[in-house]
Amino acid sequence: MGETIHPELLEEQEKQKRESIIQRNIEKMNTEMGKLILEESWGGNAGSVVVRGKKYNCAGANAYVAPNGEIKIFSNIQNIPSDLDITDCIRVIFRTRSNSYVENEKFHQGNFRKFPIVNIHYSVRDVGEVSSETKEVLRESVERYNINEAINFEGLYEALEMLGGLQGSERFFPSAKLINLIERVRAGKSSLDYITRRGGLRDKVQELLSKKKSK
């Protein structure tokens, strides 16, 4: 008889696999997505978005995603290498926004290191085939990417507003609620423990608080 694997061990192995996929997705967002976005035109079909009162032009980046939620490549179809099999992949468009805006006829630099993701769109052909697990892996990948790329609290608040909120261990926190909690932590009225760890949010708040103290 073969060795029986304890259910808890199987669950831990699945968590590790999922974490590896999310880490690889974020790496591709930081590299391939950024390069592809620079080749695309801003505005146009991707339009624009208003975040916390500021208007930003958007651009779309095509990605091909495996059923397990792993991004195989960011690329336009004609540029995909012939040796990369995307037969089982779904096409996903990552709608990103610029990191600068115009105010009072002047350009202003934004609050992110790279291009934050506004939302993602599944192709009409594939939308009925996308599993909840695939969507969840991509959702968490975007959450971590956006939150990590914020360089200050305003950028963090923009990231949360674009995400719409985060799912905590027990309940969903709308972006307005999260921003209010962070403001209370910054004012010394609440503990950092009240901030969910989802998307790396608690770590990011701690990082930004430490940065402010070191100045």
Query: How would you classify residue 197: left for phi > 0, otherwise alpha for psi between -120 and 50, otherwise beta?
Result: alpha
Q: What is the pLDDT along the chain (215 residues), one digit of tens a residue?
A: 456 667 777 777 888 999 999 999 999 999 999 999 988 778 778 889 999 988 888 999 999 999 999 999 999 999 999 999 998 899 999 999 988 766 656 666 778 888 999 999 987 565 567 888 999 999 999 999 999 999 999 999 999 999 999 998 889 999 999 999 999 999 999 999 999 999 999 999 999 999 877 66
- Tell me the C-alpha distance between 108 and 102, whole Å: 6
User: Would you say the pTM of this structure is higher than 0.85?
Assistant: yes
**DSSP 8-state assignment for residue 80:** S
Residues 6+ apart with CB under 8 A from 146: 112, 116, 117, 159, 162, 163, 199
Strands 117-122 and 100-103 come out as unpaired
Q: What are the distances in angstroms from CA 15 to CA 4, 8, 11, 20, 25? A: 19, 11, 6, 9, 15
Domain extent listing, the chain = 17-131
Strand partners, 50: 55
Provide the CB-side half-sphere exposure for 212 (13 A, CA): 11
